[in-house]
Every structure is written in C-alpha cells, then in structure tokens.
C-alpha cells in the first residue's frame, strides 16, 4: 500500500531513498479508508494529519452563512491533502475536507513520534521543497487566472490541465472551484458543444 507514496517521493527527488528510509516511511504513515461524504477534517477541528491519496477523490471547502460551499482544493490519486495552516500551527481549521469518492489515504500524524524523523529523510525533505514550490506556483497561477481570465478561459484551462476532474467531480463542484456559478458553467459547456457541431 506504500508503493505509490514511495514512487511519488522518488519522482520528486534526486536523492535516493535508503532501505532504512523506506522502513521508516512505512512505519510512520498510517493507512485510512474513508467512505464518500465522510469527513477527514471538519471546520473548527484541528488538522492532525497530512494525507497522501492512494485512491479516490477529496475536496476541501468552506461553507458560507447561506450554506453555499466554496471549493478550495480538489485532490485525486497521488495528491496530498491537509489544511496546512491548521496542521502546522495546530489551530482550528476554517475548512472541511471530505471524500467525494471512497478514498484510501496514507496519513502522517503531526503527533506521531516519527514525524520529525520522516521530515529529516533527505529524499522526503527534497520532495517537500519541490512540492511546496509547485504548490506556490499553482496558487499564484490560480489567483492570477481568477482575476484576469474569463470564466470560459478558466474552465478550458482546468479541463486542459486536469481533464479527469470532469469525470470525478460534478459540475457544481467544478464551477465553485473556478469561481463561477453552475449556471454559467452549464452555459459554457453548451456553447462548447454547439461550437463543435
């Protein structure tokens, strides 16, 4: 069950994983299966884990006073999930994280006696630096896109970057993720279909 995680670390680092590193990672990361709509984190709780998704789909979102959900992140296999602010500061989260599909994860608990040791593995540390850089770049790109691009452009760009989202998440979730209404997304999709005829 740790094969995907170990391969992910190897793909994002040039430093090899030693045998003792692999053993430590296998001991430190805890397997968890959550069912569709089951919460990994609820608003107001402290995020105690960072999670690597082996199989399934996760969404991270806030709920406003009117009960509307606002998607922060959509995550699928070989992606990480957590509220990083809550996890690192051990403060209550403003987010909900739940499974959109039955999901299998490997969780690294903050309170785990292995946490610091895992973070000191050279390949893991290198992977985290690359991951942090990639996350920062993606966040900048998403912010720039939300300010400067049309709804049509944001949808097309998302489908080009992550075409699997269209099969994994319903329209209202994708619409929220790119900051538009589901009616606007429906209009964009209908125009796209008519344009191809």
Q: Does the structure show a pLDDT above 50 at 138?
A: yes
Residue 16 has pLDDT above 70, yes or no: yes
Average pLDDT, the chain: 94
Residue 142 lies in a domain: no
Q: Reduced to 3 states, what is the DSSP secondary structure of residue 59?
A: strand
What is the rounded CA–CA span in Å between residue 74 and residue 102?
14
- How far out from the chain centre does Cα 122 lie? 23
**49 and 108 Cβ atoms separated by less than 8 Å:** yes
**Does residue 106 sit within a domain?**
yes
Higher pLDDT, 7 or 195: 7
Q: Pull the structure tokens for residue 133.
A: 């850089």
Q: What is the mean pLDDT of residues 46-68?
A: 97
Total tally of structural domains belonging to the chain: 1
| Contact assessment for residue 53 and residue 34, using Cβ atoms and an 8 Å cutoff | no
List C-alpha distances in Å: 110 to 107, 114, 156.
9, 9, 38
- Look at residues 8, 38, 40 and name the one whose alpha carbon lies nearest to residue 25: 8
Angular region, 56: left φ>0, alpha ψ -120 to 50, beta rest: left
The domain of 95 spans 3-115
Q: Domain of 65: which CATH number?
A: 2.60.120.10
Is residue 189 in a domain? no
User: Which stretch of DSSP H or E encloses residue 173?
Assistant: helix 171-177
pLDDT bucket at 197, cuts 50 / 70 / 90: very low
Q: Do residues 59 and 81 lie in contact, with contact meaning Cβ atoms separated by under 8 Å?
A: no
Could you tell me if residue 176 is inside a domain? no
Q: Given 3-state DSSP classes, what are the helix, strand and coil percentages for the chain, each rounded to the nearest 5?
A: 50, 20, 30
- The CA distance from 50 to 131, in Å, is 13
**Percent of the chain beyond pLDDT 90?**
91
pLDDT band at 193 (very low <50, low <70, confident <90, very high): low
Residue 144 lies in a domain: no
Q: Could you give the CA distance from residue 172 to residue 58 in angstroms, rounded to a whole number? A: 15
Q: For residue 163, is it within any domain?
A: no
Note whether residue 167 is domain-resident.
Answer: no
Rounded to whole angstroms, the Cα distance separating 3 from 19 reads: 14
Confidence of residue 40 (pLDDT cuts 50, 70, 90): very high
Query: Which run of H or of E encompasses 25?
Result: helix 19-28
- Which two structure tokens, joined as six digits, stand for 76? 């699928």
Summarize pLDDT for 118-127 with one digit per residue, the tens.
999 999 999 9
């Amino acid at each position: 069950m740790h094969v995907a995680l170990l391969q992910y670390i190897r793909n994002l680092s040039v430093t090899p994983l030693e045998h003792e590193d692999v053993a430590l990672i296998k001991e430190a990361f805890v397997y968890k299966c959550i069912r569709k709509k089951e919460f990994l984190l609820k608003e107001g709780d402290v995020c105690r884990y960072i999670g690597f998704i082996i199989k399934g789909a996760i969404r991270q979102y806030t709920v406003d006073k009117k009960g509307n959900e606002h998607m922060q992140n959509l995550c699928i296999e070989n992606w990480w999930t957590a509220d990083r602010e809550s996890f690192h500061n051990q403060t209550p989260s403003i987010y909900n994280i739940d499974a959109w599909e039955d999901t299998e994860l490997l969780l690294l608990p903050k309170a785990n006696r292995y946490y610091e040791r895992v973070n000191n593995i050279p390949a893991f540390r290198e992977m985290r630096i690359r991951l942090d850089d990639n996350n920062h770049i993606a966040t900048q790109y998403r912010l720039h896109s939300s300010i400067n691009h049309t709804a049509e452009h944001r949808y097309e760009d998302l489908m080009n970057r992550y075409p699997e989202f269209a099969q994994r998440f319903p329209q209202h979730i994708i619409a929220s993720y790119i900051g538009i209404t589901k009616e606007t997304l429906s209009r964009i999709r209908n125009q796209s279909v008519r344009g191809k005829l």
